[in-house]
Structure 1
């Protein structure tokens, strides 16, 4: 098979050379509300083609590679005195896999446990290419099941305006959960 980044022969979808040279995560912090932050590992311009792989059959392998390079390393170095749930935003399966579930799974560690199928959008509107006004007029209308009184990290692949993350945060807080922060692979504003 060929590496999808450099097109050299590789046993992996993204070769080790590209992983080591092109996909080095850097940590970005963006305040979405007072004292509530999103942390991302890449700028969208670095990953745009790779993130769009979520629409194709090979996307699960791409997301697993990206998650190993970023989310798994984060989890290995993160500690808190309490147990934390990693909640993927709207982790329903599209194109045979859930990209947000893959990201959350790589957060599993001594202190963090991924919890799936609990935060679902009831309004499946596509936000790609849409402005803030459109996003605010068409909320995701999340439904939360089986989570209350927990410390939570929200997980998504991309942050653009932050409206999806903030809407998910509100829904979780209504059930007395503490949303510590959100983690995304990429930030569109960097």
Structure 2
């Protein structure tokens, strides 16, 4: 196959050279609610084409590479005084894979347990390109599996306004869960 970046022959959809040259993550922190932070690894402008691969059949390969470079390295360096749950925001399947489940899977470690099918949106409205007003007036209406009294982190591919993450956090808190922070691949505001 050919690297989607440089088009050279490669065993990977993004060759090792392009991964090292263009996909070095840098850690970003944004407060999205008082004392509640989102951490991300890339500016959306740097990886937007790669994020949009979630709409195509090859997106799982791209997301696995991005997750190994960012989420997996984060998990290897993360320590906490108890085991926490990493929960994907709306990990429903598109094109035979869930991009948020792929990201979350790479967080598995001694301190992080990953869970699937925990927080599902009941509304399938597309948020891409929509403003905060639209997002607030059209909530995801998350349905939470039987999870309560747990310490968690939320995982998503992208943060724009933070509305989806805050909605997920509220649903978890309503079942007496503690949400430490959210973790996203990219941030649209950096």
Residue in 2 that maps onto 1:68: 68
Q: Look up the SS of the partner of 1:176 in the other structure.
A: coil
User: Residue by residue, what CA displacement relative to the aligned partner does 1:150-172 show, whole Å, maximum 9, x if unpaired?
Assistant: 01010000000000000000000
Supply the distance in 2 between the matched residues of 1:11 and 1:82 (Cα, whole angstroms). 39
| Structure-2-length-normalised TM-score | 0.99
Structure 2, unaligned runs of 5 or more:
none
Q: Which runs of 4+ in 1 moved over 3 A?
A: none
Q: Look up the SS of the partner of 2:176 in the other structure.
A: coil
User: Residue by residue, what CA displacement relative to the aligned partner does 1:104-146 show, whole Å, maximum 9, x if unpaired?
Assistant: 0000000001111010001111000111111111000000012
The answer as to 2:142 corresponding to 1:108 is no
User: Residue by residue, what CA displacement relative to the aligned partner does 1:31-63 show, whole Å, maximum 9, x if unpaired?
Assistant: 011110000000001110000000000000000
Residue in 2 that maps onto 1:19: 19
Residue in 2 that maps onto 1:120: 120
Residue in 2 that maps onto 1:134: 134
| Structure-1-length-normalised TM-score | 0.99
Pairwise CA distance, 1:101: 0.2
Residue in 2 that maps onto 1:186: 186
Structure 1, unaligned runs of 5 or more:
none
How many residues are matched? 190
Residue in 2 that maps onto 1:3: 3
The answer as to 2:59 corresponding to 1:59 is yes
